[in-house]
A and B are shown apart, each in its own frame.
Chain A
C-alpha cells in the first residue's frame, strides 16, 4: 500500500495499462506536457515517470482541438486493433463530439452485428465547484446513461479510480470515465500493485440499517460525512457508491434499500432525468413495498452554473443538504401499506 491521490491513482493506472499492452495509446489535447496531471511524474519533461519519455510520440499523442475528429478517430482506431485512452480534459467538451459518441462509438458494435469491438476509454474531468462558470462546470454523465452501448464509470476514491480505470482499459466495450476535480487531491492508501475493480459492482462506503444514501462522484464523501454526523444522533446510515453507472449494480442498491426501507440519492448532476431519478425509479418499481418513506433526491437544480462563488456553492449536494434529507426520511411516519393498484 502507498498513499495516492485520486489524480495520482489515475496516472498510475494509465502507466500500468501502457506497460501491460503495447496497443494502449493515450491521445488528447496537451497530454504530452502532462497539463492535466495524469501523463507524467510532474510538470517537467525530465521528471521521473514522464509518459512521453517512457512511451514515445507514437503512443502519447497531442491532438488538435478537434473533439469530434478525436473521438471518431479513437473509435476507428479501436475498431482496428488499438486500445486508445482519450483524454478529453473537461467533461463539458464532450458535447462537441456528441455525434461520434452517440452514432459511432455507441452504435457500431450493435449495428454491425458484433463485428466491431470498441476497446476505448474516454476520460474527462468534471470541473464543477471550482468557479469555472457555466461553460466548464458540466456533470453530463446522465445524458450518456441515456445512450445504450456506452459504459460509464464515476470513481469517487483513489483506489476506485485506479482499479476501475484498469478494468475500463481492458474492456472491449467503450467506456466513459467521469472524474471529479473536487476529488483530485483526495488521498488514501492504494495498492501499488496492479488490481482491477470489476465494472458494475457497487461499493458500500459505510454500512448502516436505517437509511440508504446512494451517492455519486463527489457526493460520496459528502454523504459519508453526513452519515457520520447522523450516527451521533443515533441514525444508522448506509452509503452506497455505485461507482459504475452503466451497468448499474441494481442488486446492491435494492438489497440495501430493502434492508433500510429509506432512500436518499445524492449526485452533482441536474435533477431532471439524472442518475438519481433513474435510481429512484428503480427502487420505486422494484421494491415499493419496502419503502417506509418517500424517496428524496439531492441534486443540482435544473439551471446553469453561476460563476460567483457565493452562488455556485449552493448548487451541489453537501454534507448539510444530504443530512437534511436523511432527517426528513427518518422523521416521516412509515407509509401505510399500499392497496393493490387498480
Chain B
C-alpha cells in the first residue's frame, strides 16, 4: 500500500462523515415530509463509496445508481445544491428536475445517478470511449449494485470495454441484497469472477468496510486504465444499515439473524477513526472532522430552506436545447 499523505487520510474520513451526516439528515427529512418521495441511503457503505471516488482524479468520470447521494459527495460535490435537489428547489444541482435518484454534477465528473437498475453503466462506458478517442487521459467508473450485476447491459458493456481496452472501472457495490432479495439466491457464482470471461481482471475486496482496502484496489484499476491497459471489475463487499429506501418497512425477516449487528461492529467510520488515531491524529482533530461534516449538512439544509421552488415557467426548460421544440 502506498503511503498516503495526512491530508488525503483526513479527507477520506471527512468525506465518509459527510455522507453519513447527509444521509442521516435526509432520512429524517423524508420521514418528516421535508423531502418529497424517498431516498436510498449509503449509510454503512461509506468506505466503499469514498475509497472508490477518491481513487479517481478530479477530471475523471463516474455514473451511479439509485443509492445516489454518496457518489457525488464522495467525488467532492458541494452539499448545498445536492440537498436543495433532494428537496426540489430551483438551486438544486439539477435545478429541481432530477431529485434524489437523478443527482448529477458534471463539474466534478458525476455524469448522473440512475433510477433504472443497471441503466447508467453504459453511460460511464461511453465516457471511457470518449476518453479513448479523444486521448485525454480520463478514466470512467460505473457504480452498480449486486442486483444490477444481473442486468444484461453490464455484460454488453464489459465486453465492449474489454475489446476496446477502455479506461473503465466497473464497480459493484455488493451490499448483499437487492431490495429484499439476498444476492446469493439470484446470483450464480461470484460476481468478480465474471470478469475472467471478458479477459479483464476481477478483484473482490472482502474488507469493503476498510476505506484503504477499497482505495488501494480501485487505485490499481485506475492506474491500469490510465496506462491504457483496459478495464477492471471491482466487487466490494459491504452492507447497508438502513432499509432499502427510507420509509420502507420490510422488517428484518429477509436478513439473517444477528447479521446487521455484526456489520455494525465493523462500521467503516469507526474503523477508520481507530486507524487515524493510530497514525497520530488527535481526538480533537477527529472530533473536529465530525463537527465539520455536521455543520456542512446544517448549512446545506439552510441553503435549501432559503431557496425558492422552481417557477412553473421553467418546467419545459432543458427538454431540448431550443425552447421552440418543446411543444
Contacts and interface: CB of A to CB of B under 8 A. Distances in A.
Interface of A: 23, 25, 58-59, 61, 63-64, 66, 68-82, 99-100, 103-104, 108-117, 148-149, 151, 171-173, 199-200, 246-248, 250
A116 B123 CA distance: 12
B122 A112 contact: no
Interface of B: 61, 63, 92-98, 102, 104-106, 111-112, 114-116, 119-134, 136, 138, 140, 152-153, 156-157, 159-160, 163-164, 317-322, 324-327
Given A79-B123, A100-B122, A113-B96, A58 B133 contact: yes
Nearest to A79: B111
Contacts of A71: 122
Contacts of B140: 76
Given A59-B133, A82-B130, A247-B325, A151 B122 contact: no
A73 B318 contact: no
Given A75-B126, A81-B134, A69 B160 contact: yes
B235 to A, nearest CB: 20
B199 to A, nearest CB: 14
Given A72-B126, A73-B125, A148-B319, A173 B325 contact: yes
Contacts of B160: 63-64, 66, 69-70, 73
B122 A76 contact: yes
Nearest to A66: B156
B30 to A, nearest CB: 20
Contact of B318 (A81, A100, A114): A114
Contacts of A73: 122-123, 125-126, 129, 157, 160
Contacts of B326: 148
A112 B106 contact: yes
A103 B136 CA distance: 28
28 contacts: A64-B156, A66-B156, A66-B160, A69-B160, A72-B119, A72-B126, A73-B123, A73-B125, A75-B122, A75-B126, A76-B124, A76-B125, A76-B140, A77-B130, A79-B123, A79-B126, A80-B127, A104-B122, A104-B123, A108-B104, A109-B318, A112-B102, A113-B95, A114-B318, A148-B326, A149-B319, A151-B325, A173-B321
A254 to B, nearest CB: 13
Nearest to B315: A110
User: 9 tightest CB-CB pairs across the interface, nearest first?
Assistant: A76-B126, A72-B122, A69-B156, A113-B95, A66-B156, A114-B318, A113-B94, A73-B126, A76-B123
Nearest to B101: A111
A174 B34 CA distance: 35
Given A66-B160, A115-B104, 5 more contacts: A76-B125, A109-B321, A112-B106, A113-B318, A173-B321
